[in-house]
Structure 1
Amino acid sequence: MTDAVDPPAERLLHDLGITEPGEIDVEVIACAVGAAVRYCRLAVGDARIVGLGDRAIITVDDRASRVRQRFSVAHELGHWHHHRGQQLICRGAAEQQDGAAGCEREADGYAAGLLMPRFMLEPLVAGVPMSFDLMHQIAATFGVSTMAAALRLADLHPAAFALIVEEADGRRWFRRSSSLNPRWFVRSAASDMSATADRCRLPRANVAFAAPAQQWFLGQGVRDAEAMYAIDRVACGRAVHLVVVK
């Protein structure tokens, strides 16, 4: 089977007999694949892995939050699975070469599959509308950050939606769900989303309201579509905008 059909992180969970979110103990899983996890102060980055042969040591910054630590361990296990024997130096996204950035995406994908496996997550979201409440529920259930839960839902939730993220430094990026019309494009300005939220006096906690889809998207047929919009503010100063097409 290909990794797309039978993802390696999920194969590992099945091999270990892990069937519930509460059983996903990243330190135990790491030990099962020959990696020991230790926690100490790191001068740079959240985590690193050093391996030799079939053994490795994952070092995680002991100042990070527990959800960050768990994702960091899972991310390094992604490197251990996909990139064993390679020498990689993880830097900020802006400094990475294309090859290194691709390796980081692979490791992130492995981490998402290990911490929020499809076979556990999909039954929990079946028939449940996409919302910030669902993101927070998934984050709490699987012990991950709200942002990690949101990105995983973009991969697996059946709704057509876009996540538009504003970073504290003003950078903006977006993630579209797999069900969103591939011919629709997120507007670069998105009708000045922060101003829209302020004008509508949306509180910090999310409150959804209906609006024309063309306020956020460009593309054939968008004029006839409606959307539900909400904004939430999560860790690290991020503002996350959720636009769900009705």
Structure 2
Amino acid sequence: MTNVHIPYLERFTIEAMAMNLVNATFGKDAVHEPCIIDIHYLAEFQLNATIDYHRLSTDDTILGLSVLRDGKVNTFGPRGGKRRVQLSENTIVLDSKALADSPECRERFTVAHECGHLHLHKKCFEHTNSVLAPIQEHRVDPLDGCEMPQKYASSAEWQANQFGAALLMPQPAFRLAFKDLAPGGWFSIEDQSEKEDIVQALADLFGVSRQSVAIRIDTLKLAA
């Protein structure tokens, strides 16, 4: 992978960029009212992306990739044999086998993450021959969370995770839903099972995993 400078982006900048994209695609209600964002529609009709499916690894470690320019990409056949396939610019490639036994929210976050690469990082690679957005050492599985230490703010993977979370859980809508469910604040709730019910309710409202909700609560300092 060619060494490429990824500009430092503060989380609030990424949040604003994601909210603008949601607003441009679905209108302001989607930013301010809790709903399940149709992330596939946003990818296809706002970012002009194509969703495609190929086997990306033999051990299910790669859930998705972003194709930055027309070119050939390494994939695998049903028996594990390597295949080179020609893919078009702005293709989001998902590994359907790796996602097969996962909840729908896993694919949704994977698509949102790859939208982050296409929206935030494509121009960074214009001067290179790179076909794919980077898979860096700080990659985070969608179900393991979307927040990383701020020292990784120049990491393409950290940025894409932040962007994906902000797409699926726009900050105004998430804050509103949290306030409705926990009007007295997080620490006013002593019953752990009640907190778990709130996390589940938020996960259902936004079509994401419980872990992503928990991290979003922490990221937005709603439990502070």
TM-score of Structure 1 vs Structure 2, range by shorter chain:
0.5 to 0.7
Normalising by the residue count of structure 2, what TM-score does the alignment of the two structures yield?
A: 0.61
CA deviation map 1:30-67 (0-9, x unaligned): 11211111234322500001022994000112131211
Match for residue 72 of structure 1 among 110, 126, 131: 110
Stretches of structure 1 lacking an aligned partner (at least 5 in a row): 161-246
Query: Is structure 2 residue 97 aligned with structure 1 residue 83?
Result: no
Distance 1:17 1:26 in 2: 11
Alignment of 1:24 onto 2:30 = no
- Once the two structures are superposed, residues 129-169 of structure 1 have per-residue CA deviations (whole angstroms, 9 ceiling, x without a partner) of 43222211111111111111110011225332xxxxxxxxx
SS state of the match for residue 93, structure 1?
coil
Which structure is higher in RCO with an 8 Å CA cutoff and minimum separation 6?
2
Q: Give the 3-state SS of the residue equivalent to 2:68 in structure 1.
A: strand
Is the Cα–Cα contact under 8 Å of residues 68 and 89 in structure 2 kept in the other structure? yes
SS at 2:56 equivalent: coil
SS of 2:52's partner is strand
Matches of 1:75 and 1:37, distance apart in 2: 13
CA contact (8 A) 1:36 1:56 kept: yes
Corresponding residue SS for 2:12 = coil
The aligned residue for residue 223 of structure 1 is none
Amino acid at match of 1:61: D
- Structure with greater strand share of residues: 1
Partner amino acid, structure 2, of 1:155:
T
Q: Where do 1:206-245 residues align within 5 Å?
A: none
CA shift, 1:23, in A, is: 5.0
The DSSP-based 3-state class of the residue aligned with 1:84 is helix
Identity across aligned pairs (percent)? Answer: 29
Bigger radius of gyration: 1
Q: Pick from 34, 41, 46: which aligns with 2:63?
A: 46
2:197 corresponds to: 133
* Rounded Cα–Cα distance in structure 1 between residues aligned with 2:222 and 2:35: 24
Residue 145 of structure 1: aligned partner: 209
**Judging changes above 3 Å, is the alpha-carbon distance between structure 1 residues 12 and 41 closer, same or farther for their aligned structure 2 residues?**
same
Matches within 5 A, 1:102-117: 102-117=155-170
Q: CA deviation at 1:89?
A: 3.0
What is the TM-score with the length of structure 1 in the denominator? 0.56
Q: What amino acid does structure 2 have at the position aligned with 1:57?
A: T
1:103 Cα deviation (Å)?
Answer: 1.2
Larger helix share, 1 or 2 = 2
Consecutive unaligned residues in structure 2, runs of 5 or more:
1-9, 71-87, 140-150, 187-194
User: Does the 8 Å contact 1:34/1:55 carry over to 2?
Assistant: no
Please, what is the CA RMSD of the aligned residues?
A: 2.9
User: What is the match of residue 121 of structure 1?
Assistant: 174
Give 1:119 deviation, angstroms. 1.6
* Residue-pair matches, total: 156
